[in-house]
Amino acid sequence: ELKVEQNPLFLSMQEGKNYTIYCNYSTTSDRLYWYRQDPGKSLESLFVLLSNGAVKQEGRLMASLDTKARLSTLHITAAVHDLSATYFCAVDNPSQGAQKLVFGQGTRLTINP
């Protein structure tokens, strides 16, 4: 059974600092996704990572994928308050007939001035 674990689950940081959220998954997966969710809102897609070594960047967020280690990271550079949200990673395996997304528990990020 495919499982996805994130850590940390809660992260409080100061503006201007850097930090990394980790996402481990248990079996081979085709794709890895990062989403952002603001309180009471839906999911906003941030990144889709498809292959080993993939790296994508958007503003202060950078995501990478190591399929051999079954690990993805979401790195936050010089955090600003607007990045406060809950971040989820998710994986799917359509080549194995599994279309569903399996989500991690989420990392609640709070950025303090």
Partner 1 sequence: NAGVMQNPRHLVRRRGQEARLRCSPMKGHSHVYWYRQLPEEGLKFMVYLQKENIIDESGMPKERFSAEFPKEGPSILRIQQVVRGDSAAYFCASSQHSGAYEQYFGPGTRLTVT
Instruction: Verify binding: residue 87, partner 1, rule CB under 8 A.
Output: no
DSSP 8-state class, residue 27:
S
CA distances (Å), 40 to each of 2, 16, 85, in order? Answer: 27, 26, 11
Please say which residue, 64 or 107, places its beta carbon nearer to partner 1. 107
Using rule CB under 8 A, residue 102 touches partner 1 = yes
Phi, psi (rounded to 5 degrees) for 40: 75, 10
- Look-up: residue for tokens 């409080």? 12
Q: Choose the stretch contacting partner 1; rule: CB under 8 A; options: 12-20, 58-66, 73-81, 94-102.
A: 94-102
Point out which residues bind partner 1 (CB under 8 A): 31, 33, 40-43, 45, 48, 88, 90, 94-95, 98-106
